[in-house]
Amino acid sequence: MLDGIFSFVLLDTRDNSFLVARDAIGVTSLYIGWGLDGSVWIASELKGLNDDCEHFETFPPGHLYSSKDREFRRWYNPPWFSEAIPSAPYDPLALRNAFEMAVIKRLMTDVPFGVLLSGGLDSSLVAAITARHLAGTKAAKQWGAKLHSFCVGLKGAPDLRAAKEVADYLGTVHHEFHFTVQDGIDAIEDVIYHIETYDVTTIRASTPMFLMSRKIKSLGVKWVISGEGSDEIFGGYLYFHKAPNKEEFHQETCRKIKALHKYDCLRANKSTYAWGLEARVPFLDKEFINVAMNIDPENKMIKPEEGRIEKWVLRKAFDDEEHPYLPKHILYRQKEQFSDGVGYSWIDGLKAHAAKHVTDKMMLNAANIFPHNTPNTKEAYYYRMIFERFFPQNSARLTVPGGASVACSTAKAVEWDAAWSNNLDPSGRAALGVHNSAYENQINSAKAAVGPEKIIPKMEISPLGVAIQS
């Protein structure tokens, strides 16, 4: 077991009692349900419970459930969980070593694998460390010492350019997948069926990942290593620029880690496993989290006047002049959320598409139709309609988080800037005055992103891999 990242069930055949444990952070999905006859059901998907259980819910990460006691008990209780403010000094080398160990630990394999590479800081560091340590592994002996990297985006997307540059720098065998806005829209229903949520930002990011995972699996790859979790641990989302003090900064990172199983972990797990592809996430290694969350949060605070951008402590830890891990401009590239980095017209196109299917009159009646987590945008309403068609049970809708959010913040962090309450959107571009391509600076039209006719993609093989062409 990789440091508590898997869930398991233990059965005592003497009396048929059982013990269920979920992984520490919620990297893999798990649900628990109860039948009318008192039976207890465990499944990794809602679909495994919704027809047989009177009630079901998300199995809380880091907990045990005993059939004898019929209650949950927390087994994972690290120091940061209390949200007390840590005071350990920042040690760049200790942080670097802890993350390298987390990556190396996940290279145990005897099957073909690769790395998801968006060209941002997190995935690029994962790729750089993997490339450095791959040669001595069992996988390298069986499948070759060349690391395969994968990226997805609309043509001309920020991630595609940055990922190609990182891949060239690291010498990976790079596979670049293209999709169109229409390709993504055509997949929305399948995505919602597989990831089992109506959360807007999760669906936006899951769709390109879902399309990419299918292509990766078709190449014979069994698992990928990915960069989820860093933004939660280090305060990497752009709204952290407005954190008023180190106490609120740290408490927000704690809240974000605790909620990962509802958002990024759910996306990474279900978007990949929908095609039988495993995703491994070294940033969520328990030992690494302990090291990173024990740093005095004053060191994580974003201070542009001092040259400290988001995730400065992580960037600085890998800023090695003698043996550089990455080019400087990649190491210090501004944060792009995955749903933005694949191409800005992706989100704009989704909004335009939803506006065609949800009327103003429907929005006026939204609170009556969906009293729980009432959608406040046409895009959210559109996703909710699809979700309710697949999962009409009340238990299902209660598994999905809600509340105000800007640039992926929690509802509590929205209070950091009064202007945000009028601009509630999970895109990083909603961080007005922070993102280089914030909505306030944009004049392009979303309607141009979606044509009236359905575009059937074709697949083209090139030296870089498989590309979905329009």
Flag whether 44 is marked binding. Answer: no
Flag whether 314 is marked binding. Answer: no
**What residues contact 157, with CB distance under 8 A and at least 6 apart?**
341, 342, 343
CA atoms of 160 and 118, how far apart (whole Å): 7
Q: Which amino acid is at 54?
A: E
Q: Which amino acid is at 215?
A: K
The answer to whether residues 469 and 458 touch, using CB atoms and an 8 Å cutoff, is yes
**What residues contact 187, with CB distance under 8 A and at least 6 apart?**
207, 210, 211
Tell which residue, 324, 241, 285, 364, has the closest CA to residue 78. Answer: 285
State the DSSP string of 147-187.
PEEEEEESTT-HHHHHHHHHHHHHT-EEEEEE--HHHHHHH
Tokens (6 digits) for 318: 């890998």
Please give the DSSP secondary-structure letter assigned to residue 246: H
Reduced to 3 states (helix: H, G, I; strand: E, B; else coil), residue 63 is strand
Q: What are the residue ranges of helices labelled H in 219-343?
A: 230-234, 246-258, 264-273, 286-293, 312-317, 328-331, 338-341
Flag whether 152 is marked binding. Answer: yes
Within the chain, how many helices (H) and strands (E) appear? 18, 14
**Tokens 């073909």 correspond to what residue?**
112
Flag whether 114 is marked binding. Answer: no
| Angle, helix 121-133 to helix 158-170, in steps of 10 degrees | 20
**What residues contact 305, with CB distance under 8 A and at least 6 apart?**
none
**Residues contributing to the annotated binding site:** 116, 152, 226-227
**Residues contributing to the annotated binding site for ATP:** 116, 152, 226-227
